Amino acid sequence: MNELPSMFNEYDEARQNGFIEVKKYKESGKKVVGTFCTYTPKELIHAAGGIAVSLCGTSNEPIADAEIDLPANLCPLIKSSYGFAITDKCPYFYFSDLIVGETTCDGKKKMYELLGEIKPMHVMQLPQNNVDQESMVLWKKEIMKLKDRIEKDFHVEITPEKLKEAINIHNEERKAKIQFYELGKLSPSPVTGMEILKVLYGSQFKLDKRESIDYIKELTAKIKDEYENGQRATSPDAPRILVTGCPIGGATEKAIQAIEENGGVVVCYENCGGVKANSLLVDEDKEPIEAIAEKYLSIPCSVMSPNTKRLELLSKLIDEYKIDGVVEVILQACHTYNVEATSVKRFVNREKNIPYINIETDYSQNDIGQLSTRMGAFLEMLY
């Protein structure tokens, strides 16, 4: 697999080069929209001729600056996001013409009020559940509000034709990602969990959609070819792990390292950047706004109550990926995921009859030894 390591490293480089790319886009006259969450309908931004960039927020570096204004016992994702913004250490935030956030938690929505003093800010009011018709009506209105805001701020018209084109290319990207991360269904897995994470996390920073799609397809084809020729990246005896919980990336890679350094292999990420956000496509046969509303509201984030769709998705993934154990990674003070962890543990233990472990962490590196010890003990149970 001589070519593959360099191809995976391309995604590390994309994080760094993305800063330069967004500056070029800005200088060419394109509008830049900073986003925080998978609930943002990026098709609207694309249809307006702009680019969506994922804002920095998975590092411990700016948290001390954020705690000047924010409480110390707040979720590290919120503090990191705010710290990057106020210190101008995030080029994506610096070059953004508009910031879009969603009310996925109380901490975020209050933090958005502070961000609104720095940059133009648009907050989408997310419904409390994704099962009743009233929620769909509300969410569709929120998408229309975002459409109106983008059109007004950027002096453009988002036509149905442009929206359909944007839906098509974003669906293509989702399909390419699905084909890539479903490599984990093979046994033994042809990729490590860290390699999967590099692609899922790093692809956020490849701003040219067509280039991103082509690269993921090329990488997937190469891995399949090497696998068919007998190359193996993981041991057939390694316990197969599904990771769920809060968004993974940046500083939280330490949890994945702890799993794989102790002999496990992460074959599936249910988290926001993985299956949860990409498994469902926007229906291209429906009216565009209606279809976008349906797709995004179906994301089974822990903010939804009830959130039975998450358990349904976990059940499906555990079966399809032949999972031996589930690791839930939760950020400190993320109350929705922390409380929902009880339901997830019961479901995994009782309904699926496999082991489960819950890790609560932050963006510091102080608990690396503890993570390794806990993962080592957990994985011993699976052999």
Would you say residue 111 lies in a domain? yes
Domain at 32, CATH number: 3.40.50.11890
Would you say residue 99 lies in a domain? yes
Range of the domain at 118: 4-158
**Of all helices (H) and strands (E), which one includes residue 361?**
strand 356-361
Would you say residue 60 lies in a domain? yes
From first to last of the 383 residues of the chain, give the pLDDT tens digit: 445 655 656 555 666 677 788 888 899 999 999 999 999 999 999 999 999 999 988 899 999 999 999 999 999 999 999 999 999 888 899 999 999 999 999 999 999 999 999 999 999 999 999 999 999 999 999 999 999 999 999 999 999 999 999 999 999 999 999 999 999 999 999 999 999 998 887 787 778 899 899 999 999 999 999 999 999 999 999 999 999 999 988 889 999 999 999 999 999 999 988 999 999 999 999 999 999 999 999 999 999 999 999 999 999 999 999 999 999 999 999 999 999 999 999 999 999 999 999 999 999 999 999 999 999 999 999 98
- Residue 332 backbone dihedrals phi, psi, to 5 degrees: -55, 135
Would you say residue 74 lies in a domain? yes
**Of all helices (H) and strands (E), which one includes residue 194?**
helix 193-202
Please say whether the beta carbons of 1 and 233 come within 8 A: yes
Number of domains in the chain: 1
Would you say residue 115 lies in a domain? yes
Would you say residue 216 lies in a domain? no
CA dist 50 and 29 (Å) reads 9
For residue 234, what is the DSSP state? S
Nearest partner of 41 among 207, 77, 208, 50, judged by Cα:
50
Would you say residue 280 lies in a domain? no
Would you say residue 44 lies in a domain? yes
Please say whether the beta carbons of 302 and 336 come within 8 A: yes
